[in-house]
Amino acid sequence: MRVLVTGGSGQLARAIQTAWTGHELVLAGKSRLDLEDPEAIRAVVAELRPQAVLNLGACTQVDLCESEPELAMRVNGTAVGWLAEACRRQGALLVQISTDYVFDGLGSRPYREEDPTGPRSVYGRTKLAGEEQARLAPEHLIVRTAWLYDAQGRNFYRTMVDAAAQGRALRVVDDQRGTPTSCRALARQLHLALAEGWRGLVHVTCGGETTWHGFAAEIFRQRGIRASLSPCGTADYPRPAPRPAYSVLSGQRRALLGTDLMPSWEAALAEVVAADPDNL
């Protein structure tokens, strides 16, 4: 299958490139395919004639989205409608990656796909708009995931390991719960989802749950790093965008749709740690 991947230089795109064998992948970074440019979207899809478009391009810096809401809406919301229209014309499947930020984060049991949304940040609102736009493609799969990281890229794992290497004392929030999800585990599940023909809306994260502090502690334990790490509360660390206090996503529908490959978050972390060139 020929698959056009937008946001081709991001961390999930890199993991897709490694994990997806047997497909002809065309990774298009912002310089080749700027999601703010509807004409470019139309032209690239018409030229490449992909069977699927995997939309990984997004404004992912949640604090920046608060100060640039129009930009965030164009990239995370409006552009998905342009992609959906291009996919409709081409008869292609649109795979849209969405986020736990579409929920209000006030829950206390894992969010199911049918639970009401209620985003509290610009990022969450614009990604929810992206979900609505993706539904305009006759063939679509919307995958909500959370807390993505890999050995490389702009993510929490990298931030913790690099900060510890600099000998910095770390205070990390211990009152936000979610599920760290490695890009490589998600990439493998997406590959299988395509093969098994998943459609509609599905939650895909690793198994289990923790806090950011719990995640940091496990990173340091698995890496054998003696870091100065202490817990703090969200209120101690004010940020422009509100973070969901609870954003664990239920995996029940995934298990109904097909084969559930997602490991526990601790096992997925062990795989990333083993593959991190820093750790060899």
Ligand X SMILES: NC(=O)c1ccc[n+]([C@@H]2O[C@H](COP(=O)([O-])OP(=O)(O)OC[C@H]3O[C@@H](n4cnc5c(N)ncnc54)[C@H](OP(=O)(O)O)[C@@H]3O)[C@@H](O)[C@H]2O)c1
Q: Which residues are catalytic?
A: 123
Residues in binding contact with ligand X, number by CB under 6 A? 26
CA separation for the pair 58, 35 (Å, rounded): 8
Closest CA to 95 of 51, 59, 128: 51
Q: Is 219 in the site for ligand X (CB under 6 A)?
A: no
Q: Is 262 in the site for ligand X (CB under 6 A)?
A: no
CA separation for the pair 6, 26 (Å, rounded): 9
The distance of closest approach from Cβ of residue 224 to ligand X in the complex, given in angstroms and rounded to an integer, is 25
Q: Which residues pair with 52 in a beta bridge?
A: 3, 93
Q: Is 4 in the site for ligand X (CB under 6 A)?
A: no
The distance of closest approach from Cβ of residue 189 to ligand X in the complex, given in angstroms and rounded to an integer, is 13
Structure tokens at 269: 């972390």
In the bound state with ligand X, the residue whose beta carbon lies nearer, of 153 and 231, is 153
Q: Is 7 in the site for ligand X (CB under 6 A)?
A: yes
Q: How many CB atoms within 10 Å of residue 138?
A: 12
The footprint of ligand X on residues 28-87 (CB under 6 A) is 30, 33-36, 56-60, 75
Q: How many CB atoms within 10 Å of residue 37?
A: 15
C-beta of residue 239 within 8 angstroms of C-beta of residue 176: no
C-beta of residue 212 within 8 angstroms of C-beta of residue 174: yes
Q: Is 131 helix (H, G, I), strand (E, B) or coil?
A: helix
In the bound state with ligand X, the residue whose beta carbon lies nearer, of 7 and 107, is 7
The distance of closest approach from Cβ of residue 12 to ligand X in the complex, given in angstroms and rounded to an integer, is 3
Q: Is 182 in the site for ligand X (CB under 6 A)?
A: no
The footprint of ligand X on residues 115-154 (CB under 6 A) is 127, 145-148, 153-154
Instruction: Point out which residues bind ligand X (CB under 6 A).
Output: 6-7, 9-12, 30, 33-36, 56-60, 75, 97, 99, 127, 145-148, 153-154
